[in-house]
Amino acid sequence: MKEITNKIKETATRLFKEGQVDIFMAWTKGDLPFQTKPYFARSVDDVDNIIFDEYSIHNLSGTLLKFRDGQEKIGIVVKGCDSRGVVRILEDNQFQRDRLYIVGVCCPGMKDPLVAMKNYSGFNNKNSAEGIAAKCLNCTTPNPVIYDEIIGEEQPPHLQGERFEQVNALENMSYDERYKFWADTFSTCIRCYACRQVCPACNCRTCIFDEMKPQWVGRENNSTDNMMYHLVKAYHMAGRCIECGECERVCPVNIPLMLINRKLVKDVNELFGSYEAGMKYEEGAKPALSVYNVNDPDNFL
Ligand code: SF4
Ligand code: SF4
Ligand code: SF4
């Protein structure tokens, strides 16, 4: 990781000196060893604060949205999952490719700082998370899919187990069992919206859940409004979720959001043909469900 950090710093220094970027997005040390956090370097003087370590897990692509209306040229370091987030944001016309300099890093798998924090709290006093993060155990894309330069050796997928195993188990339940499963699961959602905030595919300027006039979805924390939140979010993710796993990782009450997301991936594949969101950027290309064709089957209407 030290070698990767040094290469990232070299690249950032070069880009600032050549005037190719105004901001360079990477990570920096936190107060505790596992509290690595996103960092925006704004000049060559900041470059020394950059690190890449086993806790650089955060998907930085969503932070591009903070700069979508500006003119700044941005350098950004992306792991495999982050790079798919960048493709998502480019495909959704939320950023211009020529404002980006993308530094890809082949990802060996990250540890989860939130797990490390739990280990550290109370009387445990451990300073780390054991093993790689849950989201990385199902990673199909550890290597960046879009970049201007790449660092590190190509990594194999970190897949452990069958990708749709839990989805298949869910599909084998009866309707009543499934309803009960989701009703119980969503009853614990506190509607903190962390899963929305962290998601690169949630990039609407005005989110339906924030609209007050009209108020499309109630804001109370009850089973109807919670169900509605997750139903609407699922529809918006269909064909667009890049499976970065950040939503599930940041959920404070451990809602299995990747189960919903993988069900959507599986359904989109079955209904529209093989499709993996955010794998390749082609200007003008649109994900499934984002295009209209008069010949689309509509017998469900
Ligand atoms: S999901 Fe894949 S690319 Fe992303 S941090 Fe985990 S191993 Fe790395
Ligand atoms: S992060 Fe978890 S608790 Fe918060 S809104 Fe999303 S599902 Fe609900
Ligand atoms: S829904 Fe979750 S897994 Fe999918 S893109 Fe958003 S944060 Fe990533």
The amino acid at 177: E
Beta carbon of 253 within 6 Å of any ligand 2 atom: yes
Question: 134-160, pLDDT tens digit by residue?
Answer: 999 989 999 999 999 999 999 988 877
At residue 265, the pLDDT reads 93
Ligand number with the minimum distance to the CA of 195: 2
Beta carbon of 145 within 6 Å of any ligand 2 atom: no
- Of 48, 78, 44, 47, nearest in space to 63 by CA: 78
Question: 201-210, pLDDT tens digit by residue?
Answer: 999 999 888 8
The helix or strand, by DSSP H or E, that contains position 21, with its residue range, turns out to be: none
Count other Cβ atoms within 10 Å, centred on residue 246.
26
Beta carbon of 251 within 6 Å of any ligand 2 atom: yes
At residue 301, the pLDDT reads 61
Higher pLDDT, 126 or 74: 74
For residue 243, is pLDDT > 70? yes
For residue 47, is pLDDT > 90? yes
At residue 58, the pLDDT reads 94
Average pLDDT, the chain: 91
The structure tokens listed for 139 are 């990673």
Ligand 1 pocket by Cβ (under 6 Å): 57, 79-81, 107, 109-110, 135-136, 139, 142, 158, 245
Beta carbon of 190 within 6 Å of any ligand 2 atom: yes
CA 199 / ligand 1 centre spacing (Å): 15
Give exposure, 7-44, as e/b (b: 16+ Cβ within 10 Å).
Answer: bbbebbbebbeeeebbbbbbbbeeeeebebeebbbeee
Question: 3-42, pLDDT tens digit by residue?
Answer: 999 999 999 999 999 999 999 999 999 998 889 999 999 9
CA 60 / ligand 1 centre spacing (Å): 12
- Ligand 3 mutation pick, 236, 255, 257, max ligand atoms within 8 A of CB: 257
**Residues paired with 104 in a beta bridge:** 78, 150
The structure tokens listed for 117 are 């924090």
For residue 270, is pLDDT > 70? yes
Domain ranges of the chain: 2-151, 165-272
- Ligand 1 mutation pick, 55, 61, 79, 146, max ligand atoms within 8 A of CB: 79
Question: 84-98, pLDDT tens digit by residue?
Answer: 999 999 999 999 999
